[in-house]
Amino acid sequence: MEILRTTSAMQKWSLNRKRVGQRIGLVPTMGYLHQGHMSLVQLAHERTEVVVASIFVNPIQFLPGEDLAHYPRDFERDERLCREAGVTAVFYPTPEEIYAADHSVYVDETLLSKGLCGRQRPGHFRGVATVVAKLFNLVLPDVAVFGQKDAQQSRIIQRLVRDLNFPVEIVVGPIVREPDGLAMSSRNRYLSAQERQHALSLHRALEQAEDLYRRGCRDVPVIREALEACLSVESAVKIEFIELVDNSTLEPVTTMGGAVLIALAARVGSTRLIDNIVLGA
């Protein structure tokens, strides 16, 4: 497995792979890898001859006061996991390598990024879209794999590819959960044992919504109330939003027709957690 640290080495590597007819799969990550990431690597392997995992904690997608400085990092462990998963190359640049000191061009998706997490984190998706566009230009992937856990991010990347004509197929991998149902996330490591128990209420709430839906309930306010009641059982869980939106436009829905994304965000202690489910897909 190769480790590439510069933009020029990365681009050269990818051009050489393309020259010999190999298709490139990209799994963009911020490191501190877990089984959720590794499942995305697996999806890339199934589609392409070579797989690149990028590990880059992207400073411009963190807002002032967010956890950039404390974001968990463990490159040695990440490297080992990538090797075990058969990753062909790891792209591991520094922030200075990615952003010139006078960097002044950004990619701004202006519709899908306004609601849900974008409301609480203005500028976050501009940072994500910008770095992903840069990664596409550096890694030149045929396929890029993102996780459904960040559902809004995945939709924005699909829109980025469509609207800027990137020749990249976007694959969205399902949420991978711990045995107790907690959606895997690098940020779970911030949770104390007790907070982790409280955090389970996100998944429980989604299960309850799914159960109501399966039993025939199509009433948005009833489903929303059930979610709210379930999340409110733990006073330690501070709800940021409960949203029922169209799965492709991310517009709020008033009826449960078509594919509906139920997206939750909540704080448990100082940790912000998100989770979601798609019903009616």
Active site residues: 37
Amino acid at 276: N
Taking CB under 6 A as the criterion, the residue among 128, 133, 183, 206 binding ligand PAF is 128
Check binding of 185 to ligand PAF (CB under 6 A): no
Nearer to ligand PAF, 187 or 218 (CB): 187
Measured distance CA(132)–CA(137) in Å, rounded? 9
Phi, psi for 26 (deg, rounded to 5): -120, 130
Non-local CB neighbours of 110 within 8 Å, separated by 6+ positions: none
Check binding of 61 to ligand PAF (CB under 6 A): yes
> Judged by CB under 6 A, which stretch of 22-30, 173-181, 190-198, 256-264 contacts ligand PAF?
22-30
Measured distance CA(145)–CA(39) in Å, rounded? 10
Least distance in angstroms from the C-beta of 148 to ligand PAF: 11
Taking CB under 6 A as the criterion, the residue among 14, 25, 26, 28 binding ligand PAF is 28
Which one, of 48, 57, 95, lies nearest residue 75 by Cα? 57
Check binding of 30 to ligand PAF (CB under 6 A): yes
Q: Where are the beta strands (DSSP E) in the chain?
A: 2-4, 24-29, 50-55, 89-91, 143-147, 169-173, 237-246, 260-268, 271-279
> Judged by CB under 6 A, which stretch of 26-34, 202-210, 249-257, 267-275 contacts ligand PAF?
26-34
Measured distance CA(271)–CA(200) in Å, rounded? 13
Check binding of 58 to ligand PAF (CB under 6 A): yes
Which one, of 242, 259, 244, lies nearest residue 120 by Cα? 242
Nearer to ligand PAF, 14 or 29 (CB): 29
Taking CB under 6 A as the criterion, the residue among 24, 50, 82, 131 binding ligand PAF is 131
Nearer to ligand PAF, 17 or 134 (CB): 134
The H or E element containing residue 274 is strand 271-279
Nearer to ligand PAF, 153 or 247 (CB): 153
Check binding of 170 to ligand PAF (CB under 6 A): no
Nearer to ligand PAF, 88 or 153 (CB): 153
Quick one: tokens of 206? Answer: 């989604």
DSSP annotation of 142 reads S
Residues 82-111 that bind ligand PAF (CB under 6 A): none
**DSSP character string of 68-80:** TTT----HHHHHH
Query: Of how many residues is the chain composed?
Result: 281
For tokens 């939106």, name the residue.
245
Check binding of 276 to ligand PAF (CB under 6 A): no
Check binding of 150 to ligand PAF (CB under 6 A): yes
Nearer to ligand PAF, 13 or 56 (CB): 56
Quick one: tokens of 239? Answer: 């709800």
> Judged by CB under 6 A, which stretch of 15-23, 24-32, 42-50, 83-91 contacts ligand PAF?
24-32
Which residues sit at the interface with ligand PAF, rule CB under 6 A?
28-30, 58, 61, 128, 131-132, 150, 153
